[in-house]
Amino acid sequence: MDDQALNRIADALERMVPAPLAAPDFNAAPAFVWQVEPDRLEPVEQVNRVDLDLLVGINRSRDTLLDNTRRFAAGYKANNALLWGARGMGKSSLVKAVHGTLQDEHPDLKLVELQREDMNSVARLLNHLRAAPHRFILFCDDLSFSHDDQHYKSLKAVLDGGIEGRPENVVFYATSNRRHLMPRDMIENERSSAINPSEAVEEKVSLSDRFGLWLGFHPCDQDEYLAMIDRYCAAYGVTVDAETLRAEAIEWQATRGSRSGRVAWQFFVDLAGRTGVHIA
């Protein structure tokens, strides 16, 4: 094979290799979404979130996460946090609201969202964040693992960091419906079929132990559900007769078959539209 042919092959291979990620401009936005193929950080100029004051019924979790994040933003060590529990009770909303609350005080605090499916690329992402002068909340929503899922091994790079250690300027917040990040029946099945049951799922289950903060979110009762709607109405200036509001709100949750912060917000969106109030 002559040199000309080798050069053509080399050129073709170079075109197949994605260009390395240029140093991101972290001053361009308060938040970013990590994308792969090719690797890039997409800026998010307007984060979809609600004000922290609008989150009702999760006071203890709110205060704990806010204090942890404020210390981290100020340059101190902080714990990774796992927000687990009932669907629609404000887990991801709390992470985004806490970040928004601290933006004015700490403009260098950035939120970076990582999809669970891209967890195996987290080492590359951490290398980019490590070199930046900012501080980052690395956020993964709805994190969980199946029995044959190998993404949990990449998660260890975030939580423990191997010999290099987790970057000092990164803290990891994850939400999940499961406290141990995997279904209970899967835990029991693997234990029952393993040669050594006590070690069968220890590697995966112990991932949750690596989070310094466990913040539980539980289903709300009717009073909390109605209090959420009252808070939304007061914040956005929606005026409705109290008895009418209560009756419509209860009917709405009955048709949905559940009560949660998400259901309360969905009812309020419908109510605001019917009363001619714009929600910013």
Confidence of residue 80 (pLDDT cuts 50, 70, 90): very high
Percent residues over pLDDT 90 in the chain = 61
Mean pLDDT computed over 201-225: 82
How many angstroms separate the CA atoms of 80 and 7, rounded?
A: 49
Confidence of residue 17 (pLDDT cuts 50, 70, 90): very low
Prediction pTM value: 0.83
| CATH number of 31-217, picked from 3.20.20.70, 3.40.50.300, 1.10.3720.10, 2.60.120.10 | 3.40.50.300
What's the pLDDT score for residue 31? 97
Percent residues over pLDDT 70 in the chain = 75
Question: How would you write the chain as a 3-class SS string?
Answer: CCHHHHHHHHHHHHHHCCCCCCCCCCCCCCEEEEECCCCEEEEECCCCCCCHHHCCCCHHHHHHHHHHHHHHHCCCCCCCEEEEECCCCCHHHHHHHHHHHHCCCCCCEEEEECCHHHHHHHHHHHHHHHCCCCEEEEEECCCCCCCCCCHHHHHHHHHCCCCCCCCCCEEEEEEECCCCCCCHHHHHHHHHHCCCHHHCCHHHHCCHHHCCEEEEECCCCHHHHHHHHHHHHHHHCCCCCHHHHHHHHHHHHHHHCCCCHHHHHHHHHHHHHHCCCCCC
Chain segment 120-148, per-residue pLDDT in tens: 888 889 989 998 999 999 999 988 766 56
User: How does the average pLDDT of the chain come out, rounded?
Assistant: 84
Do residues 95 and 137 make contact, with C-beta atoms less than 8 angstroms apart?
Answer: yes
Mean pLDDT computed over 104-117: 94
Q: Which residue has the tokens 């929606």?
A: 238
Query: Which among 124, 132, 115, 128 has a CA at the least distance from the CA of 157?
Result: 124
Mean pLDDT computed over 212-231: 95
Considering only residues 21 and 195, tell me which one the structure prediction assigns the higher pLDDT: 21
What's the pLDDT score for residue 242? 95
